[in-house]
Structure 1
């Protein structure tokens, strides 16, 4: 059974600005409460190296791999699957321009495989808190940057 966290938020900022916030990974430490550091080229197949806040005071090093990247629209990544399909993950960020100059941001995370219930039992609360915090922070960051530009 899959473990899924989907978060959607409408942002009072243009899609280009929201995209800039999401892809300026070097600045994640300035605003992102979940992913404190991030390095990637966003090139499909390349690594995305992150320090994430899950449980305890020490951030966890995480290496995943870029799956897709459509500039201005979406990027996704996944962990290296565990042997025998015991555990795999999917993470995506999608940006959609709305007619009124606002943007819809969709954050998706999914764990699959027989170990997904075990991992979600151990880390589900921390993952939900982390992805919710990041989604809210994307909105806050983009709207603050828009206010400075206006």
Structure 2
């Protein structure tokens, strides 16, 4: 059985703005409390190198991009540990709701025979981290959208 963390939120900003926040990896340190550094081409098969804050000090994490559909979906996974010990999958899904709203889905799962140990040690920290990142995406996209609307309106 998988350990799953899934959250869907509605964001008061167009899908293009939400996607910009997700895909502008260089700006993660400005708004992301969980993944405080991130580098990748976002191309399937390429690495995604992150610094993830599970403990007091961010830890390096390398995973591999499995899917990238610009404006809609970005997914990656860890290289599975030998003998089915542990594997993970992470995805970001963006769906437009009208002209200026977005449904964002954050999904993560862990599986393998080491899963109970990892969940016991890090499960609550993973839940807090992914919740913080999801809320950070929402806040950042909404703030960008409000700023752009005020600039467009001459404010």
Q: TM-score, normalised by structure 2?
A: 0.94
1:127, CA displacement in angstroms?
Answer: 0.2
Number of residues of Structure 1 aligned to a counterpart in Structure 2: 149
Superposed CA RMSD in Å reads 0.7
Kept in 1: contact 2:14–2:99 (CA 8 A): no
| Within-5 A mapping of 1:131-146 | 131-146=130-145
Indicate the residue corresponding to 1:62 in structure 2. Answer: 61
* Cα distance in 1 for residues equivalent to 2:98 and 2:28: 28
1:116, CA displacement in angstroms?
Answer: 1.1
| Within-5 A mapping of 1:67-106 | 67-99=66-98, 101-106=100-105
Indicate the residue corresponding to 1:123 in structure 2. Answer: 122
Unaligned runs of 5+ in 1: none
| Within-5 A mapping of 1:41-60 | 41-55=41-55, 57-60=56-59
* Cα distance in 2 for residues equivalent to 1:10 and 1:27: 22
After TM superposition, where is structure 1 displaced by more than 6 Å over at least 4 residues in a row?
none
Indicate the residue corresponding to 1:112 in structure 2. Answer: 111
Looking at CA atoms only, which structure, 1 or 2, has the larger radius of gyration?
2
